[in-house]
């Protein structure tokens, strides 16, 4: 394995679990439009942009809207999501991730965030974790969603690190595909049976040290 010089992290499901807030906001929108959204259907929305998610939700409900209406409903969904996110505190960081980031800093390994979310900085601020990241590439900068590697390639470029020296941490299939398409090492956070394209899969960061993980990736 090439020497790891940078680690790039997805946000939702890796640093913090905001999936429940996304689901509640999308379900509220679906209900407003006259149908329901199940947890299983919500899985289709993970790792992709807001407007792509809206198209999927509308498809599930068989609802057709004008472009103007789509922008209006997407903005309403985001406003509701942000209301839910106001509840986030530093205690909501997923177990072990803060310790892992501390270790990376001590080892002089660069860190970046690569997320489709346009609210990444707000959420990281609520978590008191904004200063952990040397660069943030979010939905306000990236123009192409995962599985395209743009978000991670931009992060690597910001950090001045070649893709082959980057490890990406992702909980979504599309995110792992983006990492691999960018020539990076993809570590899945979740279930190996789902994240089959990852180079390595672990349930989370709790109890995981940087050295132990990098040894496993060799």
**Nearest-angstrom CA–CA distance, 188 and 210:** 15
State the CB neighbour count (10 A cutoff) for residue 2: 12
Dihedral Cα 200, 203, 208, 214, nearest 10 deg? 10
User: Nearest-CA neighbor of 152 among 132, 195, 130, 181?
Assistant: 181
Q: Which residue among the candidates 10, 138, 171, 199 is catalytic per the annotation?
A: 10
10 is catalytic: yes
H or E segment at 8?
A: strand 6-9
**Is 102 considered catalytic here?**
no
CA 204 remoteness from chain centre: 14
Active-site hit among 12, 138, 171, 199: 12
Residues assigned a catalytic role: 10, 12
């Amino acid at each position: 394995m090439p020497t790891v010089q940078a680690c790039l992290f997805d946000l939702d499901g890796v640093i913090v679990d905001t999936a429940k807030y996304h689901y509640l906001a999308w379900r509220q929108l679906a209900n407003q439009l006259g149908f329901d959204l199940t947890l299983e259907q919500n899985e289709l929305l993970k790792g992709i942009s807001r407007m792509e998610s809206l198209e999927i939700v509308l498809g599930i409900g068989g609802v057709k809207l004008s472009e103007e209406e789509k922008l209006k409903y997407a903005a309403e969904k985001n406003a509701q999501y942000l209301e839910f996110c106001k509840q986030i505190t530093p205690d909501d960081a997923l177990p072990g991730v803060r310790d892992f980031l501390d270790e990376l800093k001590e080892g002089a390994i660069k860190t970046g965030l690569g997320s489709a979310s346009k609210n990444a900085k707000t959420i990281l601020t609520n978590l008191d974790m904004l200063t952990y990241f040397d660069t943030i590439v979010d939905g306000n900068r990236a123009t192409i969603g995962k599985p395209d590697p743009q978000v991670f390639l931009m992060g690597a470029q910001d950090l001045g690190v070649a893709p082959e020296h980057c490890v990406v941490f992702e909980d979504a299939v599309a995110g792992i595909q983006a990492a691999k398409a960018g020539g990076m090492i993809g570590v899945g956070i979740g279930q190996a049976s789902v994240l089959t394209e990852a180079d390595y899969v672990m349930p989370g960061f709790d109890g995981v040290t940087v050295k132990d993980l990098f040894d496993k990736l060799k």
